[in-house]
């Protein structure tokens, strides 16, 4: 991890090597009311790095101003970590992954000597997200648990790891984008459709949907064809002043959301 001065670009601090590679972006989590920068580091990729020692991944808490490593959870099992860590409140951090490897909730606590320790609260293979962090709303998490081999669709999970419901393939959600706006979820399904959803732990509540995205064409090849085919619309959305930016493999659209 590296911190840069935003006005000069100068390097302010660098941490030591934190472990294996990671696709995850750093996130900010409140621990005892203070900001900790949290980085998720993958476990060893058993396919791409068979010759290396097969080690578990790390979830690391860092002091923002100094780069000091404050705490570490060293049993994270996901060899391609993409989603950022999620602040679950009450000093809890949720980390999710795809590839059928699920999610882990950890608790960060300050010890009597001023140092920090971590406790694993639960690990489940019934909830995860391959491309983005889940949405937390009113004490429940919502994520698209579509992986290379598993299609649970949109999934709702309680704070203690209980699965409340899944859509499976009806409707199918597979690595699309999701944001929370005015208490509602805007979600693409990873293919062509945009959904407006009321987050509710009692069941899936679709308010509206529209087919807005297109296929990328027939030139997908290699792993892209195998895991995403001609759609593979995984790109994040952005919402500002009622205007939603949404994109597929060929175009960007601005959609007015009312």
Cα–Cα–Cα angle for 35, 78, 39, nearest 5°? Answer: 20
pLDDT digits (tens, 9 = 90+) for 118-148: 999 999 999 999 999 999 999 999 999 988 7
pLDDT at 225: 59
- pLDDT-based confidence at residue 218 (cuts at 50, 70, 90): low
Domain 130-258 fold: Lipocalin (2.40.128)
* Domain limits, the chain: 1-125, 130-258
Confidence at 87, pLDDT banded by 50, 70, 90: very high
Q: Comparing C-alpha atoms, which of 159, 139, 3 is closest to residue 68?
A: 3
CATH 3.50.50 fits 1-125, yes or no: no
CATH topology match: 1-125 vs 130-258: yes
Least confident range of 29-33, 103-107, 205-209, 218-222: 218-222
Give the mean pLDDT of the chain.
92
Inter-residue contact 62 to 15 (CB < 8 Å): yes
């Amino acid at each position: 991890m590296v911190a840069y001065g935003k006005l000069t670009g100068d390097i302010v601090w660098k941490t030591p090597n934190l472990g294996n590679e990671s696709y995850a972006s750093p996130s900010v989590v409140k621990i005892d009311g203070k900001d900790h920068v949290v980085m998720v580091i993958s476990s060893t990729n058993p396919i791409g790095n068979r010759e290396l020692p097969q080690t578990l991944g790390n979830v690391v808490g860092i002091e923002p101003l100094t780069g000091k490593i404050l705490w570490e959870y060293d049993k994270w099992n996901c060899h391609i970590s993409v989603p950022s860590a999620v602040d679950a409140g009450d000093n809890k951090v949720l980390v999710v992954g795809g590839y059928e490897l699920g999610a882990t909730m950890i608790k960060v606590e300050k010890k009597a000597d001023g140092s920090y320790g971590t406790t694993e609260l639960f690990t489940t293979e019934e909830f995860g997200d391959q491309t983005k962090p889940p949405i937390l709303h009113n004490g429940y998490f919502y994520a698209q648990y579509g992986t290379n081999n598993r299609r649970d669709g949109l999934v709702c999970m309680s704070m203690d790891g209980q699965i409340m419901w899944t859509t499976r393939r009806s409707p199918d959600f597979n690595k699309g984008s999701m944001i929370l706006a005015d208490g509602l979820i805007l979600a693409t399904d990873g293919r062509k459709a945009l959904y407006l959803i009321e987050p509710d732990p009692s069941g899936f509540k679709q308010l509206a949907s529209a087919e807005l995205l297109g296929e990328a064409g027939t030139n997908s090849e290699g792993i892209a064809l195998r895991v995403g085919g001609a759609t593979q619309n995984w790109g994040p959305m952005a919402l500002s002043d009622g205007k939603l930016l949404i994109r597929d493999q060929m175009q960007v659209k601005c959609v007015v959301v009312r």
